[in-house]
Chain A
Amino acid sequence: MITIVIILFVLFAMLKVMPIEGYFSNFDKLSQAAIDRGLRELGVRDPLYVQVGRFVKNLFQGDLGISHRYMENKPIKDIIAPKVMVSLRFGVISMLVSLPLGMILGVIMALNKGGIFDKLGNAYIVVIQAVPNAIYFLLIQVYGAQLLHCSMLWREGQAITMILPILSLALPSISSYGMWLRRYMVDETNKDYIKLARAKGVPNATIWFRHVFRNSVVPMVQLIPGSLLMTISGSIYVESLYSIPGMGGLLVDVIKRQDNSMVHALTLIFAVLGILGLLLGDIAMTLVDPRISFSKKGGSR
């Protein structure tokens, strides 16, 4: 809560120093009086606490404000809502694809550590992480569309046109999930309790599944809610490539156009999502890791 208030104050303070020319489309032709009136209407002349207070007050009435320049005089809620749904749809599907695939990749690499599959997986990860994704996104779009005999752009209602953007979104996630899981699993295998389990006579397959995999997933669980929520913000590049009307790039766009009320609303949403993601991640951790708990229990040491 405090975090959000601080973010709001910083945000409003920064927007106060924006050049005033940006607030008007016909600045040069306006009289000084008209400019003053316009700025007062926008509220940017008011002291910081008044601006923040007003914003928060409206917020509690479920009002995110009204866009001034992005789409004139349209409630921000109505602008964002459909965009969120689009981005969320792509994000969630790509996550549903990439999470299991990434995990499978990680497991295969860890099991085959030092072997050919590990090396291939590593090559994939390095390529995906190191090559600017603009390059392979374009390749996917151009050759993928040929291969699938479908449009290069996304069309509502044509499921086949979703494949390429989702593939583009999933590739980097698969590589990072794979990389982390492999790393965590290799870490776990070197731990003493795995040796003890071996000494106890637990068969290898059981050790891998019950001890190594289970324990390696724990640190990943924390990241999942966060990355799921952040898919709402969309991907600038993928969405513009396939002309998907999502959230990607919206924030940059409205900052450039100095649509302050849109900036406020979006920043608030992203901040809340970020915090919520962390919180949900922590809650998820307590479910899978008995060592972590929110309530303070009396230890028996």
Chain B
Amino acid sequence: MEREVILSVKDLNVKFSLRGKVLHAIRGISLDLYKGESLAIVGESGSGKSVFCKNFIGLLDKNGWVDSGTIEYKDMDLAKFKKDKEWSKIRGKEIAMVMQDPMTSLNPLKTIGWQIEEAFRLHQDLKGEAAKNKAIEILADVGIPDPARRYGQYPHEFSGGMRQRVVIAIAMACNPRILICDEPTTALDVTIQAQILNLIKDLKDKYDLTTIYITHDLGVVANVADRIAVMYAGDIVEIGTCDEVFYNPKHPYTWALLSSLPQLGVKGEDLYAIKGTPPNLFHPIRGDAFAARNPQALKIDFEHRPPYFEVSPTHKARTWLLDPRAPKVDPPAIIQNIRNIKRGGVENG
């Protein structure tokens, strides 16, 4: 089944200049985002998952730039966009973003209603009473009780979960095609996390959205994602459907990531932790970026960067282990149990 590609990234390279040195943050990522899907990008802190997605709405920090590659969206190449004016066609209107921390992502001096209407004024030319009604409608949509009263309140009068709903309402106010959720539940109470995830899921169905989740919480992923892209050191090392990545992971980094799920821990034993630190992106990386931390690394992992090996039409991984000449290495035993866990514990993790 050929699905419609809504956003297509080709060989994207992003660099940052930091204290006079150049950091290669995104190292040649290619990715097709399908219309209506929900893609999760997972990886540890500093793997470049946020930086990667910020390229889609032109919010890279000032010291960063797209070195090469293209981001195609509706016959436009977003990688070429420089000016605010060009981005104004995309930001909010086509691609919107929900940030991590709802406590700080609202302007403390403006009412909730004003902040939602700001988006209307910009993108839909909606003003006055009509805008107000629409804002109240959206507040109701994201599950805020008594929206007419809440409309006139300030952010400090809302709890964290409610604020995240407001942030989502603001993102939805522009009626975007793609919604990027940058760790939408990290700053929230565990009990609220599931609610917010369900809310995003409902909105996705209702408005036919394409969603990208950026997260390091595989529990979140298991719940919401159709596809998973695993990022490590500025590169996607494995990508596949949710089931493929969970049940049939191929890349040693994915193994390590899954092994460190707290739900897999055995009482009385230490949790699995990945040894070492991610590579320094100031220096060029030789071979497989994960090789240094990989106990099963092959000699070639230190010499040549592995290409993508296709496991199935939807599943590919960048590891020499998939080369026919490679010795057979089994994934760690611990992640064999994942099937039981995913149905139970991880569900609302």
Residues in A neighbouring B119, C-beta threshold 8 A: 200-201
Residues of chain A with a CB closer than 8 A to B229's CB: none
Instruction: Report which residue of B57, B157, B158, B174 has the largest number of chain A beta carbons within 10 angstroms of its beta carbon.
Output: B157
Complex: chain A residue closest to B123, CB-CB: A201
Is A218 an interface residue when CB atoms closer than 8 A count as contact? yes
Most buried by A among B87, B90, B104, B109: B109
Q: What B residues does A299 contact at CB under 8 A?
A: 156-157
Is the pair B109, A203 in contact by a Cβ cutoff of 8 Å? no
Among B92, B111, B158, the residue within 8 A (CB) of A201 is B92
Q: How far is the CB of A34 from chain B (nearest CB, A)?
A: 67
What 1/0 flags go to B62-102 for Cβ under 8 Å of A?
00000000000000000000001101101111001101110
- Given A192-B101, A195-B59, A200-B122, also A218-B107 (CB < 8 A): no
Q: In the assembly, what is the distance between CA of A290 and CA of B113, in Å?
A: 14
Asked if A215 and B109 make an inter-chain contact with CB atoms under 8 angstroms apart, the answer reads: yes
CB < 8 Å neighbour of A200 from B85, B91, B101, B153: B91
A50 CB-CB contact with B under 8 Å? no
Q: Is there contact, CB below 8 Å, between B91 and A300?
A: no
What is the CA–CA distance of A299 and B84 in the complex, to the nearest angstrom? 39
Kindly state whether residue A214 has any CB partner on chain B within 8 Å: yes
Q: Is A211 a contact of B107 with CB atoms below 8 Å?
A: yes
Whether B108 is near chain A, meaning CB under 8 Å from some CB there, is yes
Residues B92 and A199 in contact, CB atoms below 8 Å apart: yes
Query: Closest CB of chain A to B227's CB: distance in Å?
Result: 23
Count of B interface residues, CB-CB < 8 Å: 36
Q: Are B105 and A192 in contact (CB under 8 A)?
A: yes
Contact A199 B57, beta carbon cutoff 8 Å: yes
Closest Cβ of chain B to A287, distance in Å, is 11
Query: Chain B interface secondary structure, helix, strand, loop or mixed?
Result: loop
Quote the shortest CB–CB distance from B54 to chain A (angstroms): 9
Chain A residue at minimal CB-CB distance from B100? A192
Is A301 an interface residue, CB under 8 A from the partner?
A: yes
- Check B59–A193 contact: CB distance below 8 A: no
User: Shortest CB–CB separation between residue A211 and chain B, in angstroms?
Assistant: 6
Is A197 an interface residue when CB atoms closer than 8 A count as contact? yes
Which residues of chain A in 194-216 are interfacial with respect to chain B, using CB atoms and an 8 Å cutoff?
195-204, 211, 214-215
Which residues of A from 21 to 66 have beta carbons under 8 Å from B? none
Task: Report the Cα distance A197→B57, complex, angstroms.
Answer: 12
Q: How far, in whole Å, are A263 and B181 apart by their CA atoms in the complex?
A: 65
| Interface range, A side | 20 to 34
Inside 8 A of A296's CB, which chain B residues have their CB?
Answer: none
B154 at the interface (CB under 8 A from A): yes
Determine how close the nearest CB of chain A comes to the CB of B145; give it in whole angstroms: 10
Residue B321 CB within 8 A of the other chain: no
Interchain CA distance A299-B162 in the complex, whole Å: 14
B170 and A290 within 8 A (CB): no
B296 / chain A contacts, CB cutoff of 8 Å:
none
A187 at interface (Cβ–Cβ under 8 A)?
no
Q: Is the CB of B59 within 8 A of A203?
A: no
- Which residue, of A191, A290, A291, has the highest number of chain B Cβ atoms within 10 A? A290
Which of these, B97, B108, B123, contacts A199 with CB under 8 Å?
B97
Q: Is B217 an interface residue (CB 8 A)?
A: no
Q: Could you say which of B100, B118, B154, B170 has the most chain A C-beta atoms within 10 Å of its C-beta?
A: B118
Evaluate whether A192 and B170 lie within 8 angstroms (CB atoms) in the complex, with A199-B97, A199-B99, A201-B122 already known: no
A289 within 8 A of B: yes
State the CA gap A188–B344 with chains docked (Å).
43
Nearest residue (CB) in B for A198 is: B59
Bound Cα distance A288, B108 (Å): 11
A201 to B92, CA, bound (A): 5
How distant is the Cα of A218 from the Cα of B171 in the complex, in angstroms? Answer: 27
Q: Is B25 in the interface zone, CB < 8 Å from A? A: no
State A288–B158 Cα separation when bound (angstroms): 19
A283 to chain B, nearest CB (A): 17
* Residues in A whose Cβ lies below 8 Å from that of B93: 201
Whether B156 contacts A291 by the Cβ 8 Å rule is: yes
Instruction: Note all chain A residues with C-beta closer than 8 A to B170.
Output: 196, 200
Q: Which residue of A lies closest to B156 (CB)?
A: A291
Interface contact B88-A201, CB-CB below 8 Å: yes
Q: Judge whether B136 is part of the interface by a CB distance below 8 angstroms.
A: no
Q: Which residues of A contact B135 (CB under 8 A)?
A: none
Please name all residues of chain A whose beta carbon is closer than 8 Å to the beta carbon of B174 when the two chains form the complex.
200-201
Please give me the residue from chain A that is nearest to B149 by CB atom.
Answer: A300
Tell me whether A192 and B99 are in contact in the complex, defined as CB-CB below 8 angstroms, given that A200-B119, A291-B156 are known contacts: yes
Q: Is the CB of A193 within 8 A of B106?
A: yes
Asked if B159 CB lies within 8 Å of chain A CBs, one says: yes
CB contacts (< 8 Å) of A193 on chain B: these are: 104-108
Residues of A near B109 (CB, < 8 A) are 214-215, 218, 288-291
Task: Decide if B167 is an interface residue (CB 8 Å cutoff).
Answer: yes
Compute how far the CA of A199 lies from the CA of B59 in the bound complex, rounded to whole angstroms: 7
Complex: chain B residue closest to A291, CB-CB? B156
A191 and B84 in contact, given A198-B91, A290-B109 (Cβ under 8 angstroms) = no
Tell me whether A203 and B88 are in contact in the complex, defined as CB-CB below 8 angstroms, given that A195-B105, A215-B107 are known contacts. yes
Whose C-beta in chain B lies nearest to the C-beta of A193?
B107
- Give the Cβ gap from A223 to chain B, nearest Cβ, in Å: 18
Chain A residues near B154: list those with CB within 8 A.
Answer: 290-291
* Complex interface residues of chain B between 225 and 240 (CB less than 8 A to chain A): none
Whether the pair B91, A199 counts as a contact (CB closer than 8 A) is yes
Q: 7 A-B residue contacts at CB 8 Å?
A: A192-B104, A195-B99, A197-B107, A200-B96, A202-B122, A203-B85, A290-B108
A interface residues, Cβ below 8 angstroms from B? 191-193, 195-204, 211, 214-215, 218, 288-291, 299-301
The 3 closest A-B pairs by CB, nearest first: A201-B92, A201-B91, A192-B104
Q: Told that A195-B59, A196-B99, A199-B97 touch, could you supply 12 new A-B pairs with CB distance under 8 A?
A: A192-B101, A195-B105, A196-B105, A199-B59, A200-B170, A201-B88, A201-B92, A201-B93, A201-B123, A201-B174, A215-B109, A291-B109
